[in-house]
A and B are shown apart, each in its own frame.
Chain A
Amino acid sequence: MKNISAFALGLALAFPATATFAQDDTLVIGRSASTNALDPGFLREAATIVDNIFDTMVMRDEDMKLVPGLATGWTAVDDTTWEFTLREGVTFHNGEPFDAEAVKFSLDRVLNPDNKAPTISYIRTISSVEVVDPMTVRIVTAKPDPLLPTRMSRYPAYIVPPKYIAEHGREHFANNPVGTGAYTFVDFVPDERVTLEANPDYWRGQPDIKTVIWRPIPDATARITSLITGEVGLIEDVPVDLVPLLQQTPDADLVQVENGGLTIYLGLRMDKAPLDNVKVRQALNHAIDRVSITENLLGGLATPKGTQVGAADFGYLDVPVPEFDPELSKQLLAEAGFEDGFEITLQSSFRYMKNAEVAQTIAQGFEDIGLDVNQETMEWSVYTQTVPFEGPIYMLGWGSTQTLDADAAIYAIMKSGEPYSGARIDALDALLDQSRSTVDPEARAAILQEIQEVAAEQVPLVTLYQEDKLMGKAPNVNFDGRADARIPVFSITMD
């Protein structure tokens, strides 16, 4: 050890650390994942970085309300047509003007089936985009789509420069992006960094922070260490186990976005016995001590829930958390004809907070009401190929952070036949269909709430709890985190 430390010391003295220790107007952000490409129309990852280079027509403020972005206003002309009035005088970083043609181009290239955009599902309700005049654009949907303005506030609806892409091609664009956003692109070195610089002509005003460097640091301990030592000023993804490290040091703060994470649930394959029986599903629902799991296992960094819909989502219904009542569960099992229990498999991965430990606790709860549980824990890339085909019980997380609408939180995991759904409940399917074709907000909210009532009774899946989103920041960085998980550097300041 002495040899090694002497060696390290020697080198450290000879070559003083050149790491970019945070300067006043430079923010280094440590992320757990590497960025692959920066074309906002064809992302296969979260839009965290491109969100700072590009703008959408509709934006969300800190309270998650929809506010004007590149569009100054929008109205529903009829059930299937939305008209957006565009902001005058906005230019792309290369000087190209922002106009209706740019909007049409940006959406059309994602919708064009030849381009095989992996993000097409987010805007596939659109049937055409029409330029009315240079500052007005109409978006026509195939069926009534009440969520269209919301869809225009997230990827892939970022507005890109048509001439620049036509000139340089898509591959060049993905590595040298040009947008209208608060930051302009400087460089992108895969697995090393993405550097952005403040756009002095930004239409919302000049950003406070002049330079942003995004660094992928996959290992959590290294990521947190780099925050504490001041190498980075903000980090994503703090594992529960390492929270105390951040709480103890004066050199960094924990950013806890309450209910900013995914809602964890048990998916159930309902197409065969015994989970086709509602009493069995209800029995499972009452055999889990959600309060103990969130308090003791997750250290209060998650909130027990009775519905998949988030409290900030449109259409939320405050469904009480199912009571932990093993006796009731045993009784329900007996009523269903399973006095002696049955054998069942519970699948899980390592993706979420203390995933394996939580799965084990749940399995124990199921054993206590007389079931014989086989636990299977899989690596994530294998797991995603398995759910929801095998199960019959599988643990997953789902969220609506990108749209903040109940639809995103429930449709894909409760509707029969959807790729991630194991549920088969006719009454729910009818309501879900109805929710997607109702434009009137009040009527729609009522339907979404009814869906949650039916779900609480029929248990298409077992909702467990919603994770908080955990980040870390340097004491001089002013950022509270956002419910939609974005990091808009434009709104961050440093003391």
Chain B
Amino acid sequence: MKGLRFLLSRAAQGLIVMFGVSALVFFALFLTGDPAVLMMAPDSTAAEIDAFREAMGFDDPIIVQYGRFLVDALQGDLGSSLRYSRPAMDLLTERLGATALLALSALLWSSLLGFLLGAIAAVRKNSPIDFAIRVISLLGQAVPVFWLALMLIILFSLNLRWLPSSGYGSLSHLVMPSVALGAYYLSAITRLVRSSLIETLGENYVRTARAKGLTEWRIVVRHALRNAMIPVVTLQGMYLASLMGGALVTEIIFAWPGIGRLAVEAIQNRDFPVVQAVVLFAALVFVVANFLVDVAYTWLNPRIRL
């Protein structure tokens, strides 16, 4: 029951966060300028701009606009895109698949490889192989994604001609964006698995297991890894959440039709409803992911069931 109360309080906190985010995205955008001026043709007259502003409802008191926004948002209506003349929600859901595919594939390969490398590095602590893995993972986190992406394009598309340079539609299109995006997470996960596992391997119950004569790998896989996973699961939850909000740079460079690209274009064009939809969605994913991480905690470690 304590666990349930814990989860309920977490859910309530999530609701408050969502409310705060909705207020923030709404007011912050309006502080940046007049959308009507930007949306109209450059040689429009002031009267034409006024008419457009009125049609879009930009001339109502801002608190009225916020109220309207909140009521509609609760019903799943985030307004119509100013540029596409289509519901912002539709634009978002259309791109959800592409973003999810990229996010999950990047996180999947980087997690699998990260666990493997991290475990090897932890078991062979301070050996040359540990050193090599640490250097690689340091590089992976230090290299900016746009640079890595361009290097991949130049190597695999321009020089070797193995992979299409950009676009969407087949597995070969997915390879480079997924590699570019996952490189950072590979490094982060490797490092975290290594340090977390080294800590766990020093615990008393591990020493007991060793005393029982179990092999080192059996100890790692059966006993230590599960406990070492707690911080890693947190990290993955947060990574997945941030990736679902769109991988801005990766999606732009590889012309990937995902949420990140939608967000960047909407910001550039002051497409308010779309920007709001993307930010709200990203916040929602974050809150939900956070909640799921809490659920996973209680399952992985009963001590957290306060």
Contact = CB atoms under 8 A, between A and B. Distances in A.
Interface of A: 3-5, 7-9, 11-12, 14-19, 34, 36-37, 42, 44, 113, 116, 118-122, 124, 170-171, 174-175, 189-192, 215-219, 221-223, 225-226, 228-229, 231, 380-382, 384-385, 411-412, 418-420
21 contacts: A12-B162, A19-B164, A19-B172, A34-B261, A36-B85, A42-B85, A44-B269, A120-B41, A121-B43, A121-B48, A190-B94, A192-B168, A219-B254, A222-B254, A225-B165, A226-B164, A229-B158, A231-B164, A381-B268, A412-B42, A419-B46
B33 A11 contact: no
A190 B156 contact: no
A380 B253 CA distance: 19
Contact of A218 (B45, B83, B156, B261): B261
Interface centre among A3, A8, A189 (most CB of B within 10 A): A8
A368 B208 CA distance: 79
B8 to A, nearest CB: 40
A118 B163 contact: no
Nearest to B34: A385
Nearest to A411: B43
Interface stretch (B66-74, B173-181, B234-242, B297-305): B173-181
B38 A420 contact: no
B63 interface: no
Interface centre among A192, A222, A228, A418 (most CB of B within 10 A): A222
Given A382-B32, A412-B43, A419-B43, A219 B166 contact: yes
Given A228-B158, A381-B270, A17 B265 contact: no
B279 to A, nearest CB: 16
B252 to A, nearest CB: 5
A107 B162 CA distance: 50
B91 A190 contact: yes
A215 B183 CA distance: 27
Given A37-B85, A219-B253, A226 B171 contact: no
A191 B165 contact: no
B154 A12 contact: no
Contacts of A4: 179, 183
Given A218-B255, A385-B38, A412-B43, A191 B167 contact: no
A224 to B, nearest CB: 9
Contacts of B252: 218-219
Contacts, number: 172
B235 to A, nearest CB: 21
Contacts of A229: 157-158, 161, 164-165
The B interface, classified by DSSP as helix, strand, loop or mixed, is: helix
Interface string B2-43: 000000000000000000000000000000111001111111
Contact of A120 (B48, B81, B150): B48
Contacts of B40: 118, 121
A16 B261 CA distance: 26
B85 A113 contact: no
Given A19-B172, A419-B45, 5 more contacts: A5-B155, A15-B172, A190-B84, A218-B253, A231-B165
Interface string B82-93: 011110000100
B33 A385 contact: yes
A378 to B, nearest CB: 12
B275 to A, nearest CB: 11
Contact of A384 (B38, B55, B81): B38
B43 A226 contact: no
Interface centre among B38, B91, B164, B268 (most CB of A within 10 A): B164
Contacts of B162: 8-9, 12, 17
Q: Which 5 residue pairs of A and B lie closest in terms of their CB atoms, listed nearest first? A: A191-B257, A19-B164, A385-B33, A225-B165, A12-B162
